[in-house]
Amino acid sequence: MVGEREALARDLVAASYLKGDFILRSGKRSNRYFDKFLFETDPELLKRIGRHLAELVPKETERLAAPELGAVLLGGAVSIETGLPLVLVRKEPKGYGTGKQLEGRFTGGERVTVIEDVVTTGGDSLRSIQALREARLDVIHLVVVLDRGEGGEANIKAARIPYSPLFRIQDLRLD
C-alpha cells in the first residue's frame, strides 16, 4: 500500500479499531473489533472509502446491493461514486407494508455487486447474496471494506462469489 490507500488504512484504524473483549456477529469472541459505524458515519472517511470501493466494482455491474444496516451508507457512497443504482437487502422481509426483503427498483437478471463492511465468517454476506439470487438477480461480485481473516474469504470463494476486500487485516497496522 502506498500513498492515499496507506493513509486511508491508517485513518480507518484510528477511527474504528477498538481493543477489549467483544462478541462478533459470528458468535466468536475477539480482543479486537472494528466499529464500522465509526468509519461509516464520518463523512470524509465514508467518501474516501466509497471512492476506493468503487474502483473494485466490476465494469459489467448493473446494480449495487447493500445489506442493512451496516453497509447501507457504504452502498450509498459507492452508488454516488459510480452512478449505479442501489438495492438494499433487509435481514428478513419486513412484517408490514410491502413485506419486501429487497428495497429499491431492480429487474431480474441484472448483474449485481454487493457492497459489505466487515467480513468475519462471511455468513451475513452469503445470506444477503441468497436473498438477491432468490429475486433472480445475478450476483457477480462481493466488495468489502475489511476482511478480518477469520474464514470469510474461504467461505465466500467456496460459494463461487468473486471477492475483493479493500483491506485485509494483515494490511493494517494495529499498534
Q: How far is residue 154's CA from residue 158's CA, in Å, rounded to a whole number?
A: 6
For the chain, the domain total comes to 1
Give residue-wise pLDDT tens across range 6-22: 999 999 999 999 999 99
Give 161's pLDDT tier (boundaries 50, 70, 90).
Answer: very high
Non-local CB neighbours of 111 within 8 Å, separated by 6+ positions: 58, 60, 61, 62, 63, 138, 140
The pTM assigned to this predicted structure is 0.93
Q: What is the pLDDT of residue 2?
A: 60
Taking the C-alpha atoms of residue 85 and residue 66, their distance in angstroms, rounded to an integer, is 11
Cis peptide before 69 (omega within 30 of 0): yes
Alpha-carbon span 16 to 23, nearest angstrom: 16
Integer Cα distance of 124 and 46 in angstroms: 21
| CB atoms closer than 10 angstroms to residue 98 | 8
CATH value at residue 30: 3.40.50.2020
Give yes or no for residue 155 having a pLDDT over 70.
yes
Distance separating alpha carbons of residues 122 and 101, to the nearest angstrom: 19
Question: For residue range 29-83, what is the model confidence (pLDDT) as tens digits?
Answer: 889 899 999 999 999 999 999 999 999 999 999 999 999 988 999 999 999 999 9
Name the average pLDDT for the chain.
93
Buried b vs exposed e over 24-59: b needs ≥16 C-beta within 10 Å?
eebeeebeebbebeebbebeebbebbbbbbbebbee
* 19 DSSP β-pair partners: 32
Expressed as residue numbers, the domain containing 103 is 4-171
